[in-house]
A and B are shown apart, each in its own frame.
Chain A
């Protein structure tokens, strides 16, 4: 009998149908991958399973009994829990308390000793080492996820939904998370695994369900699934998923030169030359401090040692204004925190960094020109929205990424830094973003891409700079770079190559 079954579920928001007639059956002890493009209805599906939204029609049954899931508490008591890309922990509480905070079975009084012992036991079951006395504020994202999984386990979870759990993890952490998923499966827990990373799905899933436009397209055992077929099901057409660049593009004179750049206590010894039209990718594990180099170049957390030369002239960059004056742009990885004003419309986001150009008489913004500017990018970058007055918060991840890109393109940068340009972006939009980056390079922009997604690095880079623990581990030419080589360099001597299926 299925542990969780959805029958004919439909859900609409205003006029938009997010789910139409969705059917899904989850068996105990299986890892069931659900894939689909952004906007396919995955988020709505999760929210219905966890009681955040109620379906308009259709029924949900758990262990064969029809149930109503009206809140996260309901879902919890039915044994359904979820973990997300951004872990949900309480930074001020320690690991053990985070695990047991909502556990009613623990009684009215705190039994700290018992709680620590239980927490340690749960963490141990997941095959992870983690001090249960540590405050959650000091944990890495991967550790925070472990805490969340242990919390679900403590509540006798029957179905654990993992929503893009590896989007922010390094290769080692991904391998560890996949092991945790296998450990849960061995305990009879059903894991619903949602990811954009197809290689992970091929490593871990038992069955794969593809959804598109709010509808169930297919559910197949892994053995019957091929990457190309899966992607075709997802987008409804064939997409080239693993283009690998084999030779560097020709490029022009040097624009940016770093000599032993460093920031005290963060990173040091970064040296490279970047030419017009060249794409240099920063690869490395999470925590290798790649983003910090980008932040230093953009003046957010300025460098404290070494030299930055632009067109052969030494410059200092102490804040983003100075960076922008030198035609540097930075497309941040954290769209929500650093990239976009979610409550403002598309046009206001696009014009934000170049308002100076739009000033008319008396310093008043020329709204017509502003809208025209935004509209130009909406067409050019194929931002999917009826008009440019829609709030950015309502767009999908891929389209938000394009809006952010438009904002920086309008500043006409000569040096463009991308930090994780396709994180949380679906396959179709990912290919589009890659094409935009290639086109920019062709037009002579010097591009720096920081990415944890190795296939992406290999598809974009002319050269790959590998960082390890705040230092430059080496630079590889694209002709000599391979996934194995980059991972080996990034992990250093302790390298145990994780299995990677491209």
Chain B
């Protein structure tokens, strides 16, 4: 009877309720919280994280993790900004492709090391997290990309409105980030090749026996993660204009938080894009609200993110354990 509702669906509903409760709570704590301005603030901030979270979700589904995304965002933002300074007339679409291409290349390095070097992804990406960042510091020579050097269209991009809904402005960057999630979501349910991400994460041995090229699947996941981090890098560049060597630092924590809160199992094999979107919004809502909440110092933001990750994973393991018990009972009947 309970089995009628799929556990994943139940999870999305629970997540949505948690998001509403969070918003409701902060609306009692912070003046003029439920305002169009706050909506814009949170949605544009989430737009930077969402593409990374989308890529991260794919990687986590295959039982891996990509900790290098924060550094990838920084590198892409810096390199793209620098390139735009030199070639301001470049077509925006090509700029996006360039940003995603740089990201994909960095992801491919991770992918090769994990898939064919057989090094655990947590080690590989911890290494490249530091490596990419150091490379950026070295390469930039501590120089900053400034808004002045960028073409006007990218400076205006964060303020550009896609459309308004009930008096709420939905920015172009938000639409861009959402379309990444929607595209990936569609791929995951419609494309046969994309189902292999689930298969490899669900049971690597079975994937091997079923003739699935797991190494290639995992490599692809890292390339996608890099490419999506590249998209985030571009949105980041547009949003902030001034890019220093610390750009994107710590984003891996937010991305992992959004993914696990969004119900992608850290044990691999399951998860949905709708969950990732809600998880991302929830994480960013909490993050942005804390900076405005007078009762708590904003330095607690990272601590709260950390707790959120642990809570989500705990709920995940407890849930799958009790589901397993339920399954065992059914099997016995």
Query: Could you list which residues of chain A lie within 8 angstroms of chain B, going by C-beta atoms?
Result: 71-73, 75-76, 82, 84, 88-93, 97, 101-102, 106-110, 137-140, 151, 265, 287, 289, 469-470
Contacts and interface: CB of A to CB of B under 8 A. Distances in A.
Contacts of A90: 198-199, 202-203, 206-207, 269
B328 to A, nearest CB: 9
Contact of B203 (A71, A89, A107, A287): A89
A203 to B, nearest CB: 26
A91 B269 contact: yes
B211 A102 contact: yes
Given A101-B199, A110-B189, A110-B192, A88 B331 contact: no
A108 B192 contact: yes
Contact of A97 (B195, B211, B330, B332): B195
B212 A101 contact: yes
A93 B208 contact: no
Given A110-B190, A265-B329, A72 B208 contact: yes
Nearest to B205: A88
Contacts of B195: 93, 97, 101, 110
A71 B203 CA distance: 18
B10 to A, nearest CB: 14
Minimum-distance CB pairs A-B, first 10: A88-B206, A92-B269, A90-B202, A92-B202, A138-B327, A73-B211, A102-B210, A88-B209, A92-B270, A76-B211
B193 interface: yes
A108 B193 contact: yes
Contacts of A469: 332
A101 B190 contact: no
A287 B332 contact: yes
Contacts, number: 76
A91 B192 CA distance: 18
A108 B332 contact: no
Most chain B beta-carbon neighbours within 10 Å: one of A75, A265, A289: A265
Contact of B324 (A76, A89, A102, A137): A137
Contact of A93 (B199, B211, B329): B199
A93 B61 CA distance: 13
B209 A137 contact: no
B196 interface: yes
Given A88-B203, A91-B202, A91-B203, A151 B192 contact: no
- Give chain A's interface secondary structure class: loop
A101 B208 contact: no
Nearest to A106: B192
B269 A289 contact: no
A89 B327 contact: no
B197 to A, nearest CB: 11
A72 to B, nearest CB: 5
A239 B144 CA distance: 83
Contacts of A138: 327, 330-331
A97 B188 CA distance: 13
Nearest to B3: A138
18 contacts: A73-B211, A73-B213, A75-B211, A88-B203, A90-B202, A90-B269, A91-B203, A92-B202, A92-B269, A93-B198, A93-B199, A101-B199, A101-B210, A110-B192, A137-B324, A138-B330, A139-B331, A469-B332
B191 interface: yes
A86 to B, nearest CB: 9
A106 B190 CA distance: 12
Contacts of A82: 209
A76 B211 CA distance: 7
A107 B192 CA distance: 7
A393 to B, nearest CB: 16
Nearest to B201: A92
A204 to B, nearest CB: 24
A59 to B, nearest CB: 22
A139 B331 CA distance: 7
B191 A109 contact: yes
Most chain B beta-carbon neighbours within 10 Å: one of A84, A88, A139, A151: A88
Contacts of A73: 211, 213
Nearest to B327: A138
Contacts of B323: 137
Contact of A72 (B193, B199, B202, B209): B209
B191 A102 contact: no
A89 B270 CA distance: 14
Interface in B214-265: 265
Contacts of A76: 211
A400 B97 CA distance: 56
Contacts of B208: 72
A109 B192 contact: yes
A93 to B, nearest CB: 6
A104 to B, nearest CB: 8
A452 to B, nearest CB: 15
Contacts of A139: 331
A43 to B, nearest CB: 14
Given A72-B211, A92-B269, A138-B330, A108 B199 contact: no
Contacts of A108: 191-193
Interface in B15-73: none
Contacts of B330: 138
Contacts of B189: 110
